[in-house]
Amino acid sequence: MTPSSAAPVLTLSADRLSGAVGAVGDPTLLVFVAQEGVPPAELSVVAVASSDSRVAGAGDVTVRGRGERREVSVRARGRGSCDLTLRVTGRGGATASAVLGFAASGPVRCAGDTRYFTGVSDASAAFDAGGGHLVLAEDETNLLRLYARANSGGPVRTWDFAKRLGTVKEIDIEGVARAGDIAYWMGSMSNGKDGGLRADRSTLFATVVRGSGRDTVLEYAGAYRHLRADLISWDEGRGGELGFAAGAARGRAPKRIDGFNAEGIEFAPGSTSIAYLGFRAPLVPAKAGGEALLVPVLNMDELMTERADEGGRARFGEPVLLDLDGLSIRDLRRNSADQYLIVAGSWSGGDEAAPAALYAWDGQPGHGAARLMDLPMGDPGAWECVVSVPDLDVPGARVQLIADCGTVDWYGDGVAAKDLEHPEWKKSRAVTFTVSE
């Protein structure tokens, strides 16, 4: 076969891609092309057909580059999914085709400040890895993923410590706190939604953070599995004033005002050993208008050591109560100046329509938190985590928040994001807000 008649080759880096109507910086994918004996620049790649032009037509596909590797992006016209046919034409008119499955979600407010992290729908905890990147956990798997903060798309890198942890089911990771090069990842310690006991959710584990930005690497550094039991025992020793034993009892659902469900963790001002545990439930007292609860762990840095394996237990300080206007803690994060941001939301389930707000705090027990802004509701997802805290004294300070979108029907097909078959179509929504004038 002569070079001019050899068939070209077209290969997609992924066979699925997601987008959003009106989005900025939607995910892209790569197309690899070749034809034996033919310079790549002579090969042309275009979209030639769509199964539903209401979602995206052939003319909405853009192919950039002239080498053997091209970048493909798609402009979404409407919510739904379609198949897009891409074709490469080489010397002698020979062609090859491939089909790309494309799914588009609907428009959202703040579209210019919105990004979508794909491959994960139930975002629950994140920390800033520097260099424009973050490490993100979800509550449906035990995977940790590295993403570029400014771009929509899939993870740069993924870590799975399940074998090292010896876990069977999800830990229900809900919080992360970093002290130097150690990141502590906390399970919710809650029962299942049916009230069943979930032992793996009581896992607290640590990773060593090596490098930064795109070169970030995580290494397993140990685990502690008694934090739930320690909290219940400690509260009972104080007369059960927080109701932990009843809230965590078998048969008790976690997302109720008197439940037991931790969703935030962060270190106290100036400390790498004292960490605040922020609770989604209970409120104190456990009634409408109750205050949000933080419990200080006094020896967080000791819990991954051999001492803990030999019977050492967590020690706790006096509970800290914050008036968050009847809301509870969904996440909290501090910066190097000991300025805190708290994402506050409902203790209940089905909270996409519930109120949510962002509060500032100085981390000092006895000092109140100040409500910075009401977080917009109505777009997909429930506000869940804050990546990092800017200097709140600087006008125009910006903060990126991420929503848990596990129950969202992104594409109008009646399928919740967490149940989607294709990882490329799963996504969590992140929005950057201005929080200081």
- Give the CA distances from residue 48 to residues 32, 85, 375, in Å, rounded to whole numbers and listed in that order: 17, 6, 42
CA-based Rg of the chain, rounded to a whole angstrom? 24
pLDDT at 168: 79
Nearest C-alpha neighbor of 68 from the set 8, 2, 28, 6? 8
DSSP bridge pairs for 47: 86
Q: Delimit the domains of the chain by residue range.
A: 9-105, 111-434
How confident is the prediction along the chain (437 residues), in pLDDT tens digits per residue? 444 568 999 999 999 999 999 999 899 999 999 999 999 999 999 999 999 999 999 999 999 999 999 999 999 999 999 999 999 999 999 999 999 999 999 999 999 999 999 999 999 999 999 999 999 999 999 999 999 999 999 999 999 999 999 987 899 999 999 999 999 999 999 999 999 999 999 999 999 999 999 999 999 999 999 999 999 999 999 999 999 999 999 999 999 999 999 999 999 999 999 999 999 999 999 999 999 999 999 999 999 875 455 557 999 999 999 999 999 999 999 999 999 999 999 999 766 667 999 999 999 999 999 999 999 998 999 999 999 999 999 999 999 999 999 999 999 999 999 999 999 999 999 999 999 87
- DSSP letters spanning 148-199: ETTS-B--SEEEE-HHHHT-SS---EEEEEEETTEEEEEE--PPPTTS---G
Count the alpha carbons within 13 Å of 27 in the hemisphere toward its beta carbon. 28
- What are the E-state strand segments in 4-113? 9-12, 16-20, 29-34, 44-50, 61-64, 69-74, 80-89, 95-105
In this structure, are residues 291 and 360 in contact, taking their beta carbons and an 8 Å threshold?
Answer: no
Distance from C-alpha of 389 to C-alpha of 242, rounded to nearest angstrom? 30
Distance from C-alpha of 84 to C-alpha of 160, rounded to nearest angstrom? 33
Nearest C-alpha neighbor of 203 from the set 186, 221, 222, 178? 186
Q: Evaluate whether the domain defined by 111-434 bears CATH number 2.120.10.
A: yes
Per DSSP bridges, beta strands 217-224 and 261-267 are: unpaired
pLDDT at 1: 44
pLDDT at 354: 77
Residues written for the chain: 437
CA angle 382, 387, 389 (to 5 degrees): 115
**Residue 154 in tokens:** 């899939």
CA angle 341, 345, 351 (to 5 degrees): 145
Residue 119: DSSP 8-state: T
Four-CA torsion 299, 335, 162, 302, nearest 10 degrees: -10
The residue type found at 226 is: H
CA angle 60, 66, 69 (to 5 degrees): 85
In the CATH scheme, what is the code of domain 9-105?
2.60.40.10
Distance from C-alpha of 90 to C-alpha of 87, rounded to nearest angstrom? 10
Distance from C-alpha of 422 to C-alpha of 347, rounded to nearest angstrom? 31
pLDDT at 167: 86
Distance from C-alpha of 81 to C-alpha of 18, rounded to nearest angstrom? 9
For 262, list phi and psi in degrees, rounded to 5: -100, 135
Distance from C-alpha of 125 to C-alpha of 227, rounded to nearest angstrom? 18
Element (H, E) at 309: helix 306-309
CA 215 to chain centre: 19
The residue type found at 16 is: R
Instruction: Let me know if 394 is exposed, middle or buried by CB neighbors in 10 A (0-12, 13-18, 19+).
Output: exposed
Give the N- to C-terminal CA distance of the chain in Å, as an integer: 68
